C-alpha cells in the first residue's frame, strides 16, 4: 500500500527541521574584557557568524558578530567600535547568521554596510531577507559565458573583451586612475543594474566619486555601498558582502548586473584585522589563513546564474607596484582576467593607463570573432615590437630601414596611442570601436612596401 505525502505533511517536516536547526532565542552572555581588536564574552554558547547585541549600560546597544573562540571565551567584533563597552555588559543573541534586507527600492540609493540609507533620501522599501554570506552557485548550475558586456571603454571592448558573468581584476598602485576607469565603465556599460562597493575609501572621496565619476542617468541605476577607512574592520568586510548580496538579488530577478568593488585589497586588509584578533597565526606578509579562504568565496559569488548574470570588477591595490604581492597573486589565479594599469603610461598622460601587453581577458577568444582576434593580435604585436626597441628609437640609435617590422611599428605608434587614449567623459560605441580596431589591424598587418607607399 502506497502512502500519499500530503503537502501539509511536507510543510510540517520542513518546519520541524527548521526548529531542530534553530538556535534558541534569549541566549545571553556577559562581557569579560575588551581588547584592542576583539571583545571577549563568557557564557555565550553561539556559533561563529552569529549576530549579537551588546547592551551598554547607560548607552545605546551596538551590534557585534562572533568571530571565534578561545576555550570558553567567545570572541566578538563590533560593527560600531568598542567605546562604552564595560565588563559585565550583557550580550544578547539576535540571529544565527548575518542577514540583509534587499529590494528594488535600493536602486539609485547610497547605503552603508548594513543596508541603511546614508543619502538623506528617506527609508528604503525592501522585500526580501537574504544571508550576507550566501554560498556561491554550484558549478553545474552556471551557464557558459557567451554574451559580450560592453563598457564604453575602447581598449577594453576591443582588446580585452568582457563577457556577461566574467570576473576581472584591475591591478594598479595608488593614483593611477582605477576609480576613473570604474566610472567610465559604469557610465558606458549596457548592464541593467550597477552595484558599486566602496570598501575602505577615504571619506572625502565618496561624495566626489558619486558626483564627478557618475552622471545623473548612471546614478539612477546604481546601488552604492559605502564603508570608509575609519570604520571598524567588520563594517568594511560586511560592505563587500553587502555589495555582493545585493548583486545576487538582482541577478536572481533576471537582471544583468555589473558589480564593481573598490577595493578588494582593503577587504582583505580588514579581514586580516579580524583574523589576527581571533587568534589566527599570521602567514605571508602578515595575512592569516582566513583571508585566503574568504577571497575565493567572495569572488565565486559573481558569475552567471540560471536567470541573470553578475559581472564582477574588482580593483586590486598593488602595494609598492609589486604585482606579485600575496593578495594580487592570489586574485590573479581566481579571476577570469586582469587589467594592469601602468604608472609609466599614466606619467605619459595617456588614460586609461591600461598596459595592453600585461593585461588579459581569458574569455576574449570565446567572445570575439576571427577578424577581431586577428586585428587585436596584430595591434598587440606592433605595440610589443615598439616597446622592445623603444630605448634604441628614443636615443636615435635605430637606423630606419634596418627592420621592416620595426619601421612599421614606428609608423603605427601615433595611431595606436590615439586609439588607446580616451577622455574620461567619452563613451565609445562598441561598433565604432570595433571598426577602428579592424582598420588599425589591417594597417599593422600590411606589408612594409604598402606601408611605405601610404606615406
With a cut of 50, say whether residue 1 has pLDDT above it. no
- At 9 the pLDDT is 63
Question: HSE of 223 in the Cβ direction (CA atoms, 13 Å)?
Answer: 31
CB-side exposure of 232: number of CA atoms within 13 Å?
23
Alpha-carbon gap, residue 141 to 305, rounded angstroms: 7
What pLDDT is stored for residue 254 in this prediction?
96
- Residues 29-57 have pLDDT tens digits of 999 999 877 999 999 999 999 999 999 99
Helix (H) or strand (E) run with residue 271 in it: helix 264-277
Which of 17, 77, 71 lies closest to 42, judged by CA?
71
> How many residues make up the chain in this entry?
455
389-414 pLDDT, tens per residue? Answer: 988 888 888 888 888 999 999 999 99
The C-alpha angle with vertex 343 and arms to 341 and 345, in degrees rounded to 5, equals 80
d(CA 155, CA 355): 10
Q: Which domains does the chain have, with CATH numbers?
A: 26-97 (2.40.10.170), 100-365 (3.40.50.12240), 370-454 (1.20.1270.330)
Cα-Cα-Cα-Cα torsion 33, 39, 45, 50, nearest 10 degrees, comes to 160
**DSSP 8-state class, residue 210:** I
The predicted pLDDT at position 112 comes to 96
Measured at the CA of 334, the angle between CA 382 and CA 313, to 5 degrees, comes to 70
Radius of gyration of the chain (CA): 26
Q: What pLDDT is stored for residue 280 in this prediction?
A: 92
C-alpha cell at 3: 502512502
Which residue is associated with the grid cell 589566527?
A: 280
Amino acid at each position: 500500500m502506497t502512502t500519499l505525502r500530503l503537502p501539509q505533511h511536507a510543510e510540517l517536516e520542513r518546519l520541524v527541521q527548521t526548529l531542530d536547526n534553530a538556535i534558541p532565542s534569549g541566549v545571553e552572555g556577559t562581557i569579560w574584557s575588551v581588547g584592542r581588536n576583539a571583545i571577549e564574552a563568557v557564557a555565550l554558547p553561539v556559533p561563529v557568524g552569529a549576530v549579537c547585541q551588546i547592551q551598554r549600560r547607560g548607552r545605546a546597544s551596538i551590534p557585534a558578530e562572533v568571530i571565534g573562540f578561545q576555550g570558553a571565551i567567545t570572541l566578538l567584533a563590533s560593527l560600531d567600535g568598542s567605546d562604552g563597552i564595560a565588563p559585565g555588559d550583557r550580550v544578547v543573541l539576535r540571529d544565527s547568521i548575518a542577514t540583509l534586507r534587499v529590494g528594488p527600492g535600493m536602486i539609485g540609493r547610497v547605503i552603508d554596510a548594513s543596508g541603511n540609507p546614508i543619502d538623506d533620501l528617506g527609508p528604503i522599501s525592501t522585500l526580501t531577507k537574504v544571508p550576507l554570506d550566501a554560498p556561491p552557485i554550484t558549478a553545474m548550475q552556471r551557464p557558459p559565458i557567451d554574451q559580450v558586456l560592453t563598457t564604453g571603454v575602447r581598449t577594453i571592448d576591443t582588446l580585452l573583451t568582457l563577457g556577461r558573468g566574467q570576473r576581472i581584476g584591475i591591478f594598479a598602485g595608488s593614483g593611477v586612475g582605477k576609480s576613473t576607469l570604474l566610472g567610465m565603465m559604469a557610465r558606458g556599460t549596457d548592464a541593467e543594474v550597477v552595484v558599486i562597493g566602496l570598501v575602505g575609501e577615504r571619506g572625502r572621496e565618496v561624495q566626489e566619486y558619486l558626483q564627478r565619476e557618475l552622471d545623473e542617468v548612471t546614478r539612477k541605476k546604481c546601488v552604492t555601498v559605502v564603508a570608509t577607512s575609519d570604520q571598524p574592520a567588520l563594517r568594511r568586510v560586511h560592505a563587500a558582502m553587502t555589495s555582493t548580496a545585493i548583486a545576487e538579488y538582482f541577478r536572481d530577478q533576471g537582471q544583468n548586473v555589473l558589480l564593481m568593488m573598490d577595493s578588494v585589497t582593503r577587504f582583505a586588509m580588514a579581514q586580516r584585522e579580524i583574523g589576527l584578533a581571533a587568534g589566527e597565526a599570521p602567514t605571508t606578509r602578515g595575512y592569516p589563513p582566513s583571508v585566503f579562504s574568504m577571497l575565493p568565496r567572495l569572488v565565486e559569488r559573481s558569475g552567471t546564474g540560471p536567470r541573470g548574470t553578475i559581472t564582477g570588477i574588482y580593483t586590486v591595490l598593488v602595494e609598492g607596484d609589486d604585482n606579485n604581492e600575496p593578495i594580487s597573486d592570489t586574485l590573479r589565479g581566481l579571476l577570469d582576467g586582469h587589467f594592469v594599469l601602468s604608472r609609466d603610461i599614466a606619467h605619459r598622460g595617456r588614460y586609461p593607463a591600461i598596459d595592453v601587453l600585461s593585461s588579459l581577458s581569458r574569455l576574449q577568444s570565446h567572445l570575439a570573432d576571427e577578424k577581431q582576434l586577428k586585428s587585436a593580435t596584430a595591434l598587440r604585436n606592433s605595440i610589443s615590437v615598439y616597446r622592445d626597441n623603444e630605448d634604441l628609437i628614443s636615443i636615435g640609435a635605430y637606423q630606419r630601414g634596418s627592420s621592416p617590422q620595426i619601421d612599421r611599428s614606428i609608423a603605427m605608434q601615433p595611431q595606436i596611442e590615439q586609439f588607446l587614449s580616451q577622455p574620461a567623459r567619452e563613451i565609445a560605441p562598441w561598433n565604432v570601436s570595433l571598426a577602428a580596431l579592424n582598420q588599425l589591424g589591417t594597417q599593422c598587418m600590411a606589408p612594409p612596401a604598402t606601408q611605405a607607399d601610404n606615406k
